[in-house]
Structure 1
Amino acid sequence: MIVNFHVFVSFLSLSFLLNVSHAASKGVSALVLDCGSTNVAKDSDGRAWEPDAKYLLPGKKSITANAEIQDPSLSSQVPYMTARIFQSEASYQFPLQNSTSRTLLRLHFYPSSYPNLDISKSYFSVVAGGVTLLNNFSASLAAEALSQAYFIKEYHLAPSESPILEVTFRPSDTQPQAFAFINGIEVISSPNLFDQDPVLVGSAGWGSDDFESATTVPIGTTSMEAMFRLNVGGQYIPPTKDSDGLLRSWYDDSLYIYGAGRGVALTANTTVNYKGLPSYMAPLDVYESYRSMGAFVDVNKNSNLTWIFQVDPNFMYLIRFHWCDSEMTKPNQRVFDIFINNKTATSEVDIYAWMHSMSTPTVRDYVVQVSNKSGDPQLWVTLHPSDKTKAEFSDVLLNGLEIFKLSDNAKSNLAGPNPTISDMMKSYQEALLAPKSYESSVKSHSFTVLITGAAGGAAAFGVAAAVFLVAYKRKKRVHGVDTGSSWLPISWNSNSTTAKTSTSGRSVGGTAISSDAACNCRYFTLPEIKNATKNFDESNVIGVGGFGKVYKGVIDGETKVAIKRSNPSSEQGVNEFQTEIEMLSRLRHRHLVSLIGFCEDNGEMILVYDYMGHGTLREHLYKGNKITLSWKQRLEICIGAARGLHYLHTGAKYTIIHRDVKTTNILLDEKWVAKVSDFGLSKTGPNMNKGHVSTVVKGSFGYLDPEYFRRQQLTEKSDVYSFGVVLFEVLGGRPALNPNLPKEQVSLADWAQRCAKNMTIEEIIDPQLKGKITQNCLKKFVDTAEKCLSDHGIERPSMGDVLWNLEFALQLQEYPDGGGRNTATATGSVDLDSVEEGIDHHSLIAKHRSTLSLGEDNDNTDDVFSQIVNPMGR
């Protein structure tokens, strides 16, 4: 398993919150144990944890230990700084208040350093109530793979005839000096969360009326492991706000959404009550927030909302959908289909028709089998508007989503494999411990991988690895991206700082290029480069950058290439040279420039790229530009560049921050496809637990993120700021900095923000574009660019949001009557902000949805929008 550390950042701030609710105050029986402690202790939220000794079966040996290191990520010492150690099999016995109901069991692990113990040798199994929860489990490996200091597992155990729950810890027989340990245990009497057998996916027929007649899977005696719990369209809900004291955390769903089509996240404008649904199913906050696709029929009918989750293979999974439609007032207004792993779960879902009233919560469960045939077990949950009933609106709806792993056919096993640290993470750790230096015949430099220190955090529940791995897997499948195994980020070769040999057998010189990078690109000799450029003839120079001159060349007789030659006096040198090779040799994306190969010979550092026939974006924007770009062309170029940057931020294995986004680094091929280039200043790292990389400020003036400049803390939002400048550069057809202009106009970013604030944006528009941009498109474009330039990174949109907004702006340009501020109807006009941001969205829905269609009979699919009905078909 491979972990996306950028995604981990989003969970770090939530660590330990799983323990902050007071179950006893809500009337739920809860046993909360600080294992290894001798006294009642309170955590940082005032919750009391009692010692565990009296629940141990007598005669079984165990020892207590205190952790030698308190990781900075621990927000409380209790229960993690004490541990119960088992060097032979031992068991707890916990009294159950109600053995006829399920028992919620949480296990807390902090695989730290304990006196006279090697935590890496801790392999053990855990059996609870006869169900194997963990088998040959290594908490150390799990934490290492997750880059977490601690984590939590959550299980829902089937009812038992016994009033006692026995939990057994058994050190592995196959590992020498193995031992088991536990830091904290919670035992909670659970209400009847699973009162109906779920529907087997693919058996529900083709209508909502078939739901009750579909094949169901009996789960009364099945135990479960909680894997994911999402408040769809809403914010994180901590355990303090969970219903009925069940201490559940409900997480933001946006990390799991596939692609840029995120729809709109909204809050109900009507009062939501349970109306017969048991309150313990979910807190009201879940039913008061939701995600839909918005009010644009032309977009929705060719799109869907898809979430992707990484799971363990060879298990069945229960997927629970939470719905509460607070918009629709009659049947057949919003009807949609549900697909799970490309199989129909149910068709023609009409929440109002099901419930016969507005704002009435409901829950539906489905089960799907996940095999290991693909080698990459995943759950894809897709909602797509149904066209069979000719519903009034083309839209979908979801409020909450939970995923549980079911015990296997023998009803006795929930254990999955240990998560394993990737080779990439190993290489980074080696680089941290022993940063490598390398030499070239030009200069001697020392290169250190700059990443922040590892820190921990608690996963929500279940296999904590899956919580983070899913986002990596979801992002990995960006449309049009090579899904091979040779993706970046860099896997440094820690065993060599001297010459390498490429697959062709040629020496790569003194620079330490990893073997993976060498295998993924071609090594050129200096005579080959000279021959391609006619000995670096000045007539072949097509550009000059921070690294050096760029020459047009021809290799292999007919292949046009761009050859970038290092200037020895340039501030960019061997570090940038190696970064570019390591990154681009393994990045494959339609909107990233492709690296063909490199040359490091006789003191030269040379990079060879695909030739971009139309040069840089900047060449086509300013006075004396080669070709005047239409507004639609400019929008499509911006969308392409945004896709490339979005992939860097979320699609590669770790977050990649470009750090030098500008119009000269956006290249255009013969078909005007935009490609992001120049990765010499880029930063990447698996450890983004602080949300940033502290680094020396680099970039280009006029595009430089002011927050990055002030704090010297680099985040992906720094790229968003720079891209905001690019957007205004595209709109205004002028440089980011122009000292010849009046003082208030020198900085494009400052001037554009001032114009936007004063509603005088017309002053900034390129004269060649005036009168050619629709009002709605201009508003959406300017709003997007303005938000990118927010002073604080946290207020800026993600590149995924920027991409979606630009795609939407293009639709508004091509179909000016399809929606927006000037779309007249019998009852008023549509406000773009209402549609996209949820402002007055509810009153808009009933009045204007049907007027926004571009024609129901239009079968032409606009490929700007990447979402399609069949996600697995990609």
Structure 2
Amino acid sequence: MESITHPFLPLILLFFIPFSTSFTPLDNYLLNCGSHTNTSLYNRLFVGDSTKPSTIFLSADRSILLTDQNPPLNSPTLYNTARVFRSRSSYRFNIRKKGTHLVRFHFSPFVAQGFDLKVAKFSVLVNGYVVLSDFQLNNSSVLKEYIWKIDTDVLQIVFTPAGNSGFGFVNGIEVFSAPADLIIDYGARLITLTEIGEYRNLSSQVLETIHRINVGGLKLTPFNDTLWRTWIPDEDYLVFKSAAKSASTTHTPNYQNGGASREIAPDHVYTTAQQMNRDNTTFNAKFNITWNFPVGPGGILHLVRLHFSDIVSPALNLLYFDIYINGYSAYRDLDLSSLTTHVLGSPIYVDFVVDSDDSGVIQISVGPSDLSSTIRMNAILNGAEIMKMVDVMSTQNVYKKKKIWVVVGSVVGGFVILCLAIIALLLAMRCRKKTPKQGAAESVGWTPLRMFGGSSLSRMSDGTAYASPGPNGYFGLKIPFADVQLATNNFDRSLIIGSGGFGMVYKGVLRDNTKVAVKRALPGSRQGLPEFQSEITVLSKIRHHHLVSLVGYCEENSEMILVYEYVAKGPLKKHLYGTGLPPLSWKQRLEICIGSARGLHYLHTGFAQGIIHRDIKSTNILLDEDYVAKVADFGLSRSGPCLNETHVSTRVKGSFGYLDPEYFRRQQLTDKSDVYSFGVVLFEIICARPAVDPLLAREQVNLAEWALEWQKKGMLDQIIDHHLVGQIKPSSLKKFGETAEKCLADYGVDRPTMGDVLWNLEHALQLQESGRKREPNADSNVSESESVRPIIVPGVPSINLRTGDDGIGSSDINGSQVFSQLMTNEGR
């Protein structure tokens, strides 16, 4: 089938694909609430609820009809009126056809007749079940949609104001029959942390629509949908936009040969898609396309419906791909041809029931299957819907629970009073004894830990680092705002050395003449508060000569400021290419590689679980005055797997060109993902070119793949930085190339540990300086006979550094929420 990727084609298609014949529901109630007149929205007639149609009964004795006298420009007329309820009120709809219905509520706040609808607070019940509890809006209009199986002759919707002085409101209500096959009871795949199987009785669940996405296409309004739904583009949800490429077709979807209908999703959804963008990769590169959809608090089941139509293949049985949801393998080796009657462009959908985690995000990925041919490797997605399974509770159950809690509260209250009396007695007896005086560290709840070989920039005069906050916070790291102002000359713009989404980074000098980098979040914004607190927690526990250190922080006057040691020469990247700085010698480059490896080795082994950086690249390795490397930017870092685990299942994060392909495919993170990224950096250092350069010839775009080809041919010397020609001894170059090659192995199990990488880089430096052979690496179990030609032994753990100059006590931390980008204005 012909696949077209012209950027304006989706817009053209909106005019050339004929609109679908409207679905005609047997029950079809459209109410213009708070109005005596009818109005139209998307060519649908909404009847004024004050006309009291014979099939609707309105019980609202104390309700008020409001009209917005100054409606916004182009505001739908439906949103210019509202019915306000000052007491419990209800609508009753006669149902002629039992079964699945769509129930929609339109809310659009405005101010009229002394009512500010933004402050309304109320609950909504449908047939006695709560769907909205203590609901309150902000300034924007909201459409709440529910898919509900109605098995009674009457549908009752009740609005209940919260509190005696509260009120509720609604602008419009829709109740209409849905096609019988919209939600079916069988076939949904259950994918949760504790269970994988089939989910049954799906139609009996109350579903609330959270996201409805036209993947690879434009926004679709109810004009383009037989069930009058809105579909929005997927661009804002793509994790790596460069990994996806839109595709479109002019062929009308073949519904007769597929498993979907126009009521499942409209034509425009099935004629556009996202596919793998292989323009900047070699023909055999494997990666996923990933979307993150926010869904709110974790622990709630969701129906995830994915829509597919093969519009990218020239023939049948060429497209095989995998689906991952929240890091789990949800569907292996999906062959769209086998799910249809063997006709290309036949729409189908697949349902999954999944639970959300504490991140509040549902992640969906598609990627090539192991069955994919090298030439036809691809994966697609045409559309996605995410619907929350509403935990409805009947009013009767609410009343019962309240009674139970009254009894429980009385019992617990009496028990608490008894406990307080006993505690008071014990304290009185203890006060008779002399209380020993606490030490300074103990008095604020700090646990002092040894400062390691690294930073001389600690502001603790006693040379200790405090790793755990006490009840009064990190007092030893707190810096007054006045001191930060003084250090940066009141945030003088001439001192800006970097910027990012968080704000600006300034060069500064503290009162004790310590040079620092000051990262200031946007003043007054508290959106980054969790990240700010996490960074203090994480970086206060990390001290190493080759890791950028946290000097202190400031949290005054609604400010969030982090103060780091100043690393004078900035990112490694600008010393390699593009800035005209003096080229680094081969010895300098080796020492930078060794220093960076030491810092990463400490991260991986210096804690009980270890820390995985997740964003190793040349912009995140900084150089001080003496060209000593310091790994920076722990914005994507997170704790490694526990002792009884092999990996951490997590959403894909990182930078394009440096990302571990196995992590990308499987979404299983290990410290070997850092090893892969570091391997790219090694080639970047010796070749002095970016990890990805789309301006180069196709075979040269991806540095890792291009350099590996030359390394495997034993011709790495042909592509090295021209400034290094004649500088590198062949033995040193060979050892360096072998090390980088091992780091870039396709599978993590075949890659060395960072300790092994460090040992081999040190060996490469020794070969460069003297040419003498090095002793075998104890960490790698290399025998003496092998020491003539030291090799990297993958999969053998290095010595765990927990004490001494590079060690620290175990730490149960998660650095996934740390601020990003220090001393660079380049984003991820």
After TM superposition, the score normalised by the length of structure 2 is 0.51
CA change 1:564–1:873 in 2 (3 A) is closer
Decide whether the 8 Å contact of 1:128 with 1:165 is kept in 2: yes
CA change 1:339–1:87 in 2 (3 A) is same
Q: Establish whether residue 523 from structure 1 lines up as the match of residue 479 from structure 2.
A: yes
Deviations 1:447-497, CA, capped at 9 Å, x for gaps: xxxxxxxxxxxxxxxxxxxxxxxxxxxxxxxxxxxxxxxxxxxxxxxxxxx
Decide whether the 8 Å contact of 2:101 with 2:176 is kept in 1: yes
Looking at CA atoms only, which structure, 1 or 2, has the larger radius of gyration? 2
3-state secondary structure, aligned to 1:279: coil
Deviations 1:637-682, CA, capped at 9 Å, x for gaps: xxxxxxxxxxxxxxxxxxxxxxxxxx999965657679799xxxxx
The one-letter code matched in structure 2 to 1:612 is: V
| Residue pairs, 1:295-310, within 5 angstroms | 295=278, 296=281, 300-301=285-286, 303=288, 305-310=290-295
Aligned-partner Cα distance in 2 for 1:300–1:809: 10
Q: Which residue of 2 aligns with 1:62?
A: 62
Aligned-partner Cα distance in 1 for 2:210–2:20: 21
Identify which of 117, 120, 143 aligns with 1:152: 143
1:562 Cα deviation from its structure 2 partner: 3.0
Identify which of 330, 354, 358 aligns with 2:344: 358
Deviations 1:263-284, CA, capped at 9 Å, x for gaps: 2222236553223432211111
| Residue pairs, 1:264-663, within 5 angstroms | 264-268=245-249, 272-276=253-257, 277-295=260-278, 296=281, 300-301=285-286, 303=288, 305-328=290-313, 333-355=318-340, 356-370=342-356, 375-387=358-370, 393-408=376-391, 522-523=478-479, 545=495, 562-563=515-516, 596-597=551-552, 608-612=563-567, 614-615=569-570, 625=582, 627=584
Q: Establish whether residue 191 from structure 1 lines up as the match of residue 182 from structure 2.
A: no
1:607 Cα deviation from its structure 2 partner: 9.1
3-state secondary structure, aligned to 2:223: helix
Aligned-partner Cα distance in 2 for 1:599–1:776: 36
Aligned-partner Cα distance in 1 for 2:210–2:518: 51
3-state secondary structure, aligned to 2:209: strand
Aligned-partner Cα distance in 2 for 1:813–1:413: 68
3-state secondary structure, aligned to 1:153: strand
1:32 Cα deviation from its structure 2 partner: 2.5
Decide whether the 8 Å contact of 1:204 with 1:346 is kept in 2: no
Deviations 1:78-131, CA, capped at 9 Å, x for gaps: 2222111122222212344x5234221211112333424464663322222344
Q: Which has the higher contact order (CA 8 A, sep 6+)?
A: 1
1:550 Cα deviation from its structure 2 partner: 5.4
1:304 Cα deviation from its structure 2 partner: 5.2
Identify which of 100, 103, 106 aligns with 2:104: 106
The one-letter code matched in structure 1 to 2:214 is: N
- Cα RMSD, aligned residues only: 6.0
3-state secondary structure, aligned to 1:79: helix
Q: Which residue of 2 aligns with 1:166?
A: 156
Unaligned 5+ segments in structure 1 are 1-20, 416-502, 505-515, 537-542, 567-573, 601-605, 637-662, 678-768, 784-804, 819-853, 864-871
Decide whether the 8 Å contact of 1:333 with 1:391 is kept in 2: no
3-state secondary structure, aligned to 2:339: helix
Aligned-partner Cα distance in 2 for 1:813–1:526: 52
Q: Which residue of 1 aligns with 2:121?
A: 123
Q: Establish whether residue 237 from structure 1 lines up as the match of residue 220 from structure 2.
A: yes
1:780 Cα deviation from its structure 2 partner: 3.2
The one-letter code matched in structure 2 to 1:563 is: V
1:317 Cα deviation from its structure 2 partner: 1.5
1:528 Cα deviation from its structure 2 partner: 13
3-state secondary structure, aligned to 1:353: helix
The one-letter code matched in structure 2 to 1:181 is: F
1:194 Cα deviation from its structure 2 partner: 1.6
3-state secondary structure, aligned to 2:146: strand
1:228 Cα deviation from its structure 2 partner: 0.9
After TM superposition, the score normalised by the length of structure 1 is 0.48
Decide whether the 8 Å contact of 2:320 with 2:372 is kept in 1: yes
Deviations 1:433-458, CA, capped at 9 Å, x for gaps: xxxxxxxxxxxxxxxxxxxxxxxxxx
Q: Which residue of 2 aligns with 1:433?
A: none
Aligned-partner Cα distance in 2 for 1:366–1:119: 37
Aligned-partner Cα distance in 2 for 1:138–1:131: 15
Identify which of 32, 35, 51 aligns with 1:34: 32
Aligned-partner Cα distance in 1 for 2:165–2:130: 22
Deviations 1:530-561, CA, capped at 9 Å, x for gaps: 9x99xx9xxxxxx9846999578998xxxx96
Q: How many residues align?
A: 522
CA change 1:68–1:105 in 2 (3 A) is same
The one-letter code matched in structure 2 to 1:610 is: E
3-state secondary structure, aligned to 1:286: helix
Unaligned 5+ segments in structure 2 are 1-17, 399-458, 461-471, 498-504, 540-546, 556-560, 594-617, 635-683, 712-743, 754-813, 817-828
Aligned-partner Cα distance in 1 for 2:131–2:523: 49
Q: Establish whether residue 50 from structure 1 lines up as the match of residue 47 from structure 2.
A: yes
Q: Which residue of 2 aligns with 1:750?
A: none
Decide whether the 8 Å contact of 1:265 with 1:291 is kept in 2: yes
Aligned-partner Cα distance in 1 for 2:815–2:283: 22
Equivalent pairs: percent with the same residue?
23
CA change 1:274–1:407 in 2 (3 A) is same
The one-letter code matched in structure 2 to 1:201 is: L
Aligned-partner Cα distance in 2 for 1:412–1:332: 53
1:625 Cα deviation from its structure 2 partner: 2.9
1:311 Cα deviation from its structure 2 partner: 3.5
